[in-house]
Every structure is written in C-alpha cells, then in structure tokens.
Structure 1
Amino acid sequence: MTRKALLSVSDKTGLVPLAEALVQEFGYELLSSGGTAQVLQKAGLPVTQVSDYTGSPEILGGRVKTLHPKIHGGILARRDVPQDLAELENLGIDLIDLVVVNLYPFAETVQNPATTHAQAVEQIDIGGPALLRAAAKNHAFVTVLCEPSQYPEYLNHLRTHQGQTQREFRQACAAQAFCHTSQYDQRIAAYLTPTPTRWPHHWACQGTLVQPLRYGENPHQQAAWYRTGDTPTGWCTAELLQGKELSFNNLVDLEAARRLIREFPTTQPTAAIIKHTNPCGVACADDLLTAYQKALQADPVSAFGGIVAVNQPLDEATATAMTELFLECIVAPGCSPAAAAILQRKSKVRVLVMPELGIPPEAEIRMISGGFLVQTPDLGTVEPQQWQVVTAKQPTPSELADLWLAWRVVKAVKSNAIVVAKDGVTLGIGGGQTQRVGAVRLALAQAGERAQGAVLASDGFFPFGDSVMAAGAAGITAVVQPGGSLRDEESIQAAHEGGVAMLFTGRRHFYH
C-alpha cells in the first residue's frame, strides 16, 4: 500500500528537499493544501490538494482546510485495531503515515507594534495544532514533524531503517510536537491577557535546548542551557569570538554582569569586573581603557579569574590591558578586529560580543520547593535630581557624581549591600551580609585609607545609626540610602554629628 504524507507548513524552509526524498526515495504520495501545495507543484512534484482528496473546498477564507474526517481519520486510525481499519475502508479513507506541519507565525506577527488585534487573531492557527496533536497522539503508528530542523534527522532515520521509523523515534517526535503546540498556545494566552500587571491563573515556562553544559555549579551536578521564545534573544544572540564553551557558572556570572552594566549609558565609558555574581570593581572614565584600569585597581585580587563587562566596543588599548590578567570571560557590545587579534594571545578567555547588553528578561523566575516565584525585573532607579537631602550638609557636585555611581552599583550587589566609591570608581563592596553594619564594615575595610573623602551607598535603609557612625569615622563624606526606617532620625542625627551629607532615594534595591 502506498504511504501518504500530509504536508502543510507556514515555514517552507527545507520543504522541497524533504518532499523530493519522500517521493523519489520512499514512494510516498503527498497531500497538501494552500501555499504548501503551490510550492510543491512549482517544484514539479506530484501532490494532491486536500480539498480534492476530501471533496470539501477550503472555506471561510482559509480558516477551514484540513478539519475533515478523511484527514483526521487517516491520522488517528489504530493500525492494530481491525474495526478502525474496516471503518476507514467503508468510508474510503486512506491511512496517513506522516504529518509535517508548522504553525502560523503568531509570535512574529504580534512582535510588530503595528499589528492590529484582528490581524493577530487571524494568525491563531487552528487546523495546524489539531493535525500535530492528532499525529502525536497516534505516534504508535504515525510520525509527526513540526520544525524544519527535524527533516534531515527524519530522512537519515528512514535510510538507516529501510524506509521505516522506529517507535522510539516517533515518540520523541510526538513529545516535541506537544511542546511546540504548548508554547504556541502560551504565546497566544500571553497576548490575550488584558494587562501586563495582571498575573495569569496559569504560568507556563517552556524552553528550547541551546546546548547541554558540562556540569552545573559543581562537577557532580548536571545542567543544560535553554532559550525561551521562537527567535534567539539575550545571551543566545551573543557571538563567542574565542574561548571554550560557556559553562553554567559563566552564564550566571555573565547575566550578573549584564544586570550591572546596563545601568550605565554607552556615552559614559564604564567597566565592571564580576566575581561569583558580585561586582568587585566598577569604574567610569573618559575612555574605556582608563575605566577598565580603575575598575581593576579597585580590587585586583578579586578580579583574578573574574568576568569583565564593558559598555562600549573593545579597542586595542583596552584589549591589550586585559591580556595582562587571567579572566574567565569578557563581554562587550562590539570588538574591533585589532582588539580581537590582540585577545587571541589569551586564547582560553571567552570573548563575547553582545550588542544588546541592556535588554533585560521580561520576568525573573526562581524555583522553590513545590513551585516557583515570578517577578518583574528591577529596572531603572531614582535619579539624583529626585533624591532628598535630609541633612544640613549638602553634597558637592563630585560627591553627587560618586553617589550616583555607587547607587547604581549597589543595585547589583547581593543584599545586604554597601558600596564605597570615589573619583568614579568603587573602592569597597560589602555584599551578602546578614547585618547591614557588617556590610558597611566589610566595604570600609576593603577601601581602607581610600575611604577618606569617599561616599557610600546602601541598598536598604539603615535600621540603626551605627552604620552611619562607622562610615563617618572612616572618612565617608556623603551617604545615599532609600530611607524609610522607623529610626531614620537616628541615622540622620549620626550623619549630622559625623559631618556626613545624607540623601534619601525613596526606593529600595534588594537583590537576593
């Protein structure tokens, strides 16, 4: 009996070579509809229109094409149930052994801001998901392909197994088809959700494998990298110019670096050095080389084996300086050919170019036992012109500039977080402490004598005056914090007594 294949695809990539192999190598008869049939006919391939096979024309402007018993009966019939086969024979329905379907480009359509609601609705595929689900349900007998990337593997499988498919292969294809339709429905549901601030009753997170990773945080942990969405975004768009494959820890640290460097405009040359997700040195300067050198000088011991992120394309001078230190990764929005050639001296360092370093994820998700938490990213912050000076002493322009630097950096430091800065560079960073005063002491100890005349930022309010007293005693001249403690007056009084200017932002930046 001649085998039938139903082909109905929106994405025509690889369609003709697949169809040619099906007909010429494996003797399939082709069923198709609409534009897919036209492409096959133009390629000179024999194809039967679905409407001719079913005897029912496409109706409602193409909304109904393949929703017909002769199609779904041929897909869903159980080959090992005589009653099913007898019923098909009585109704003149042929078996369909292969279903090749991909869906209307809904996600791509709604990404265009000019798309109207009516246009988006017309890109909601009905027949396609029904075909995929029917074929996937009957994977005991039917093969389903939902992405062009599957075609070569499918043909190789047929050639290896004398034109037949193995149950295990069909089941894997079925699983992929169900994932495909699930993701498709999720995107439609997200589009139809009335407002972005309203949390849907169901939240589903699906991903496509980018690559397995050698291991997770530790060698005994397994790990893999997945991307969300139909098209690559974020780190999936980064170009790896050189170095080994990215590890789990590399990617976690790189995301922390991106989270920090996005706070600084590209008009202000900035370099950030990250170690174990925390910044150990951040600096702004008139040029990228100086910014990198100042960031390195902030804490050269911690910088060893760290990750560097810069907000401007790498130049020769900066690249040369970076070769003098062992680094795990370097990421920049661009890299000149000369700079890339220089970095080849350190062939093991991973160098990435990611033009869109500033684009955050739409949501942050964390797994907990029995579920997960979702939150919007901590985007933006309160700028200096909106801060409130709560002491008689006013900050100088240079202090205000350093406070602005420290306030943006503290946002990327694990809570409790303190940052000491001066002359456009961080001098001491205290993060992940259980006491705020402990974080202050850690940052001040790291800064040492350089704390004289420096400023300090805190990601949360000071619950007591002890932190401000410690800062004043170390030579800190200005402090910025969210404010909002019941003991704010105690901290303000400590600032008065220590000759420290204090500013409130009104916004907290915890980062757990």
Structure 2
Amino acid sequence: MAVVSKKIPAPDLVRVRTALLSVSDKTGIVEFAQALHQRGVRLLSTGGTHKALAAAGLPVIDVSEITGFPEIMDGRVKTLHPLVHGGLLSIRDDAEHVDAMKAHGIEAIDLSVINLYPFEQVRAAGGDYPTTVENIDIGGPAMIRASAKNHAYVTVVTDAADYAEVIAALSKNDGQTTYALRQRLAAKAYARTAAYDTAISNWFAEALEIEMPAYRTVGGVLKEKMRYGENPHQSAGFYVTGDNRPGVATATLLQGKQLSYNNINDTDAAFELVAEFPPENGPACAIIKHANPCGVATGSSLVEAYKRALACDSTSAFGGIIALNQILDAETAQEIVKLFTEVIIAPDVTDEAKAIIAAKPNLRLLTTGGLPDPRARGVMAKTVSGGLLVQSRDNVMVEDLDLKVVTKRAPTATELEDMKFAFKIAKHVKSNAVIYAKDGQTAGIGAGQMSRVDSARIAALKAEDAAKALGLSAPLTKGSAVASEAFYPFADGLLAAIAAGATAVIQPGGSMRDEEVIAAADEHGVAMVFTGVRHFRH
C-alpha cells in the first residue's frame, strides 16, 4: 500500500546549521569543511574523514559521540542509527516529527556530504571476491537515499565537483540553500546510488556466471555532454561504465576537438576490429566509415599495413577513422596526414609521430595503452522501444574454430590464411556482409545489404574501382578468398563471388541448401570451408 503524503509544502530556503561529512574519496573535503566552518556550520563526521578534518584543526564531532554507540565491525556499523537517520529524514514543518525529535533527542542534519566505498575501482582493478565484497558500501547509500528523499530540508552532496556550487549558494543566500539546488543534488544522488548498485549487481552476475539475471540495469558516469547525437537535432552524452577494456571510453585524447557521437561509435568499431590482430603477429590497420570497414590489412610495417588498407577503398576512407594495433610511428603518421582523417586510435604514439600529427590540429589522436582482448567475456546492450536487448559479446575467433572442408578441393595454405583473415573482418561488418581478401589485405567489402548477392556484387565493384585507382590490370578479387558472415541461403551469392574471381570461400554453413551451394563450388573448382559459427552484426 502506498504511503500517503501529508502535502506539507517544501520551503525554498533552508539554513545549514549542521553538516555530516563521511567520504571515501577525500579530494577537496578539508577545504569544503573549512568553508562550512567559517560560516558557522557544525561538523559531524566518521572514521577516516573525522581524522582528516581533525588533523586539519577543524572542530569536528565524531558521530559516535552523537549516537552514544561506537563504530564497530571494521566500520560496517557506524551510521546506521536512528539519531543519524532521524536527523536526515525528519520533516521540520511536521509537528509529529518535531515532537519525535524532541522525545528522542534527535538533532536535525541539514547537509550530508557522502561518497561511497570505491567498489567500482576495486572491481576494475581485479580485486578478489572477499575484497570486492568488503568494498560494498551500506551506510553510505542509506544516508544518501535518506538525505535525497528529504531534499525538502536536506542538501545532499555526493560529488566533490559540487562543493564549490554549494559554498557559492550558502554565500549568496546567507547560509541557506535553495529548493531548486536541493532537488538537483537529490536527483544526482539517486542516480549515483543507482549506478553504484548496478556495478555491484553486474559484478555478482559475472562472478556467479549468471548470464541473464532477473533484473538487468545499466549504469554509467557522464564523461562529457556532446554537441549533438547522430544528427544536429538530437542531444547526446557519453557515459562510461567503468569497464577496464581498452578502447575509446578509456582512451586519452592527445589532440583534436571533442569527439562527436558518430566519431565515438566509429572509433569503437575500428579499434575492436584491429584488436583481432595481435600486435606480436605483426602490424595491422583498419579504416572505418559509418561503423563499417572500408579497408583492413596487415603488413611488414605499420605504414605498409596502412597503405594496403587504404588501397581497398581510398574514396570511402576520406574522413574516416584509422585504428592501428601497434605504436604509431613517424613514417605511418606522415602517410596518414596526407588524407583527411577524423580520428586515429592506437595503443601508443612516438614523440616524432605526435609532432607530425600536431600539424593537423583538428585531427583527433587517441591512445589506449593496449588493445582489447577479443576473447574476453562481456555483455552488450541495445535499446528498443520499451525494452533493452542484452547479449554476450561476440568473442569467437576464427583461430579457435574447427574449420571443415566441404568441397572436393581443399584450400591451399595461402587460401586458408586469406579465408581466416576475411572471416575476422566479416565479424565486424554489418550484415549482410561479404568480404574479399588476398595476401592479408581486403580486396572488396560489401556491407549491410538486404541481399547477400548485392553485398557480393558491391564488394566486387569496389574492388574494380580500387584496381583502376591503383593502375592494376585486374582487381584483387581475382584469386581471392571470400568470406560470408552467415550462410549462403542459395548458390547465387556464391556464384557472384566466383564471378568476381574468388577461388576459396569461408562461411558458417547450415543452410537448407548447403548441398546446392557445395555443388556449385565443386563445379567451379572452388575450395570451401564451413566454420559452424555465424557473425550477424545488426
């Protein structure tokens, strides 16, 4: 049964006479407390915060002096007491609440300054199970939620970034805060505890290997408000979830203007793709446009990998995103700046390369410190009207698959390597996807078509355009391997690839017409392998 409100109007201005400060992150807390003390605010505190304030010479009262109960159980129990929560939750204009306060010796708390045990940081650092559990805060969220509920009378601060605004409000309003400020801080407080609980619940799901928990929440911290979303009329913000995975969310922006919504989406796609190629196996480069690769290649050097990736579709690469799997060097940087590029993302960059990129001040340069692990577990989410689709990350790598030769002719060693290369790329191309590859280089990419036949034809046309631009006598699809991210439902898609010059095919298999497709491959002397795994990407 719902609780009925007494409908007591909230006052606009509330004087801050007593403040409770209990923070794990003590950044700026001493200075904030000093500013409060100078305005005559009585200071209450707990544990390490009390020690820090006392060491700074501030007259601070330990909460245990108020409650008459010591901090026990390694700090697990210190603020869970009626004299604390009564002081936070009491409605000052309710006669019954006032009588209860007098009867039980409860004093009002007008300002609560609380941040939480560093659960997210401990989790990200890979803390063991007992340590992670110990960093689940109980008293902090309880006080934050109590304060936020009673925001009609209590100002709740959960972020050191808000200290200055609160002090400014007290200065402007003769030691009082406004209702509008208290409302905004209360909203932020509930969002903070929600994100905190999200991190905890998701950690439990991971630790206990619960793939689809009964309740799924998504939490994040606003990293930056964006100029707009996919289009100028859409608002957008970039939130980080605290995941340690190297990538655009954790990268350092060394130069260039703020990344746009589309930049971030495309940069993530580019870096996840290039991570399929371990740096110890050699240099690799991926060039992305609108979340699809327009060229991917390996090479004997990073600059060669870049040039070979660019050669696949230099027209589409204009204004694209470049992802590298090794440290960006000067020679590669010198080549990249010849073309208009939006973003470069790499594990690191040399000083010489950095100086070269600096000549293009609008070119964003991101470093990540490493590559994401393509085999790592994790979840991905997508919103739909009224719901949330959640799935595990597609962490299957072609090297781990048992490839099955289904044609009369087996692929040569070279064809097999090209097959694997192409199938890696197919995993990162919007469905329907068809990729031609030869000698560790994409020859043509067909992405996002409603028909697999159209994807094969578009990829072949792009290969022909690239050949003309490079002055080649024939497109690289001649003698290439072709990958399809899902099975061929009919032989027509395969025949289109064969017409483009493909001599080897890699696909998941599993169609009702597999035999028909295999027969077509055999008729043309083409080698084909089944992976047993598809890589739909919508």
- TM-score normalised over the length of structure 1: 0.95
Alignment partner of 2:147 out of 135, 141, 149 = 135
2:516 equivalent in structure 1: 490
Give RMSD over aligned pairs: 2.0
1:410 equivalent in structure 2: 426
**Aligned residue type for 1:425:** Q
CA spacing shift, 1:500–1:156, aligned 2, 3 Å: same
Given that 1:384 and 1:400 are in contact with CA atoms closer than 8 Å, whether structure 2 keeps it comes out as no
Given that 2:246 and 2:372 are in contact with CA atoms closer than 8 Å, whether structure 1 keeps it comes out as no
Moved more, 360-369 or 449-458: 360-369
Q: Secondary structure at the match of 2:279?
A: coil
2:4 equivalent in structure 1: none
Q: Secondary structure at the match of 2:147?
A: helix
2:265 equivalent in structure 1: 252
1:432 equivalent in structure 2: 448
Confirm whether residue 506 of structure 1 aligns to residue 532 of structure 2. Answer: yes
- For 2:257 and 2:483, the matched residues in 1 are separated by 37
CA spacing shift, 1:458–1:113, aligned 2, 3 Å: same
- For 1:337 and 1:394, the matched residues in 2 are separated by 48
Given that 1:143 and 1:170 are in contact with CA atoms closer than 8 Å, whether structure 2 keeps it comes out as yes
Given that 2:434 and 2:456 are in contact with CA atoms closer than 8 Å, whether structure 1 keeps it comes out as yes
- For 1:374 and 1:252, the matched residues in 2 are separated by 18
- For 1:474 and 1:204, the matched residues in 2 are separated by 47
Matches of residues 442-457 of structure 1 in structure 2 within 5 Å? 442-448=458-464, 449-450=474-475, 451-457=477-483
Given that 2:148 and 2:189 are in contact with CA atoms closer than 8 Å, whether structure 1 keeps it comes out as yes
Confirm whether residue 288 of structure 1 aligns to residue 302 of structure 2. Answer: yes
Given that 1:234 and 1:359 are in contact with CA atoms closer than 8 Å, whether structure 2 keeps it comes out as no
Alignment partner of 2:80 out of 53, 56, 67 = 67
Alignment partner of 1:379 out of 395, 409, 424 = 395
**Tell me, which stretches of 5 or more residues in structure 1 are unaligned?**
none
CA spacing shift, 1:457–1:34, aligned 2, 3 Å: same
- For 1:161 and 1:231, the matched residues in 2 are separated by 43
Given that 2:398 and 2:423 are in contact with CA atoms closer than 8 Å, whether structure 1 keeps it comes out as no
- For 2:522 and 2:74, the matched residues in 1 are separated by 76
- For 1:475 and 1:134, the matched residues in 2 are separated by 69
**CA deviation digits over 1:20-44, x for unaligned, max 9?**
11112x1111111222212211111
Confirm whether residue 81 of structure 1 aligns to residue 107 of structure 2. Answer: no
- For 1:232 and 1:482, the matched residues in 2 are separated by 28
Residue 233 of structure 1 deviates from its aligned partner by 6.5
Confirm whether residue 202 of structure 1 aligns to residue 218 of structure 2. Answer: no
- For 2:232 and 2:139, the matched residues in 1 are separated by 46
Alignment partner of 1:329 out of 343, 352, 370 = 343
**Aligned residue type for 1:184:** Y
1:165 equivalent in structure 2: 177
**Aligned residue type for 2:221:** T
Alignment partner of 2:356 out of 342, 345, 360 = 342
**Aligned residue type for 1:144:** V
Confirm whether residue 144 of structure 1 aligns to residue 156 of structure 2. Answer: yes
2:502 equivalent in structure 1: 476
Given that 1:441 and 1:470 are in contact with CA atoms closer than 8 Å, whether structure 2 keeps it comes out as yes
Given that 1:384 and 1:404 are in contact with CA atoms closer than 8 Å, whether structure 2 keeps it comes out as no
Given that 2:398 and 2:424 are in contact with CA atoms closer than 8 Å, whether structure 1 keeps it comes out as no
- For 2:315 and 2:246, the matched residues in 1 are separated by 34
Q: Secondary structure at the match of 1:235?
A: coil
Given that 1:214 and 1:223 are in contact with CA atoms closer than 8 Å, whether structure 2 keeps it comes out as yes
Given that 1:263 and 1:380 are in contact with CA atoms closer than 8 Å, whether structure 2 keeps it comes out as no
- For 2:320 and 2:424, the matched residues in 1 are separated by 20
- For 2:395 and 2:33, the matched residues in 1 are separated by 49
Matches of residues 74-113 of structure 1 in structure 2 within 5 Å? 74-111=87-124, 113=126
- For 2:91 and 2:60, the matched residues in 1 are separated by 25
Confirm whether residue 10 of structure 1 aligns to residue 24 of structure 2. Answer: yes
Residue 112 of structure 1 deviates from its aligned partner by 5.1
CA spacing shift, 1:114–1:432, aligned 2, 3 Å: closer
Given that 1:403 and 1:456 are in contact with CA atoms closer than 8 Å, whether structure 2 keeps it comes out as yes
- For 1:467 and 1:388, the matched residues in 2 are separated by 20
Confirm whether residue 319 of structure 1 aligns to residue 333 of structure 2. Answer: yes
- For 2:204 and 2:310, the matched residues in 1 are separated by 48
2:384 equivalent in structure 1: 368
2:200 equivalent in structure 1: 188
- Number of equivalent positions: 510
- For 2:193 and 2:150, the matched residues in 1 are separated by 16
Given that 2:246 and 2:370 are in contact with CA atoms closer than 8 Å, whether structure 1 keeps it comes out as no
- For 2:458 and 2:357, the matched residues in 1 are separated by 34
- For 1:187 and 1:258, the matched residues in 2 are separated by 25
Residue 49 of structure 1 deviates from its aligned partner by 1.4
Given that 1:269 and 1:312 are in contact with CA atoms closer than 8 Å, whether structure 2 keeps it comes out as yes
Residue 150 of structure 1 deviates from its aligned partner by 2.1
2:319 equivalent in structure 1: 305
Residue 382 of structure 1 deviates from its aligned partner by 2.7
Confirm whether residue 266 of structure 1 aligns to residue 279 of structure 2. Answer: yes
CA spacing shift, 1:503–1:231, aligned 2, 3 Å: closer
Give the share of equivalent positions with the same residue, in percent: 50
Q: Secondary structure at the match of 1:52?
A: helix
Moved more, 441-450 or 418-427: 441-450
**Aligned residue type for 1:88:** M
Alignment partner of 2:187 out of 175, 179, 199 = 175
**Tell me, which stretches of 5 or more residues in structure 2 are unaligned?**
1-14, 465-473
Given that 2:16 and 2:175 are in contact with CA atoms closer than 8 Å, whether structure 1 keeps it comes out as no
Confirm whether residue 395 of structure 1 aligns to residue 411 of structure 2. Answer: yes
